[in-house]
Amino acid sequence: MRGVGRRPRPGGGDRVRQPGHDVGLDGLEHRDEQRRLVRELVVGLAATLPNSRLEVIDRARMFSMIEQPDALAGLIAGFAAEGGANRRAA
């Protein structure tokens, strides 16, 4: 296939990154900043929706429906049992 292969990159970046390898400090700072921004966006969205709540699902990143489907299903069922978005604020 054209464009597929292991060619050396400028600066010696020809290695494939393996899980568990150290990430440079720049990468960690970028990841922390990205998480902070995503959390701010999600909190802001939850604040605009009536009767919403923010839940964090352990060991899930962006695709909780794939990574932790049982945990997500439990949260949805609990929200629906409480009346979900139709419950009235006291």
2-51 pLDDT tens trace: 555 555 555 555 445 555 555 555 666 777 888 888 889 989 998 998 88
State the CB neighbour count (10 A cutoff) for residue 72.
17
What are 17-30's pLDDT values in tens digits? 555 555 555 666 77
3-state helix, strand, coil in the chain (%, to 5): 50, 0, 50
Which range of residues forms the domain containing residue 46? 24-54
Inside any domain, residue 12: no
Do both 79 and 68 map to the same domain? yes
The answer to whether residues 71 and 49 belong to one domain is: no
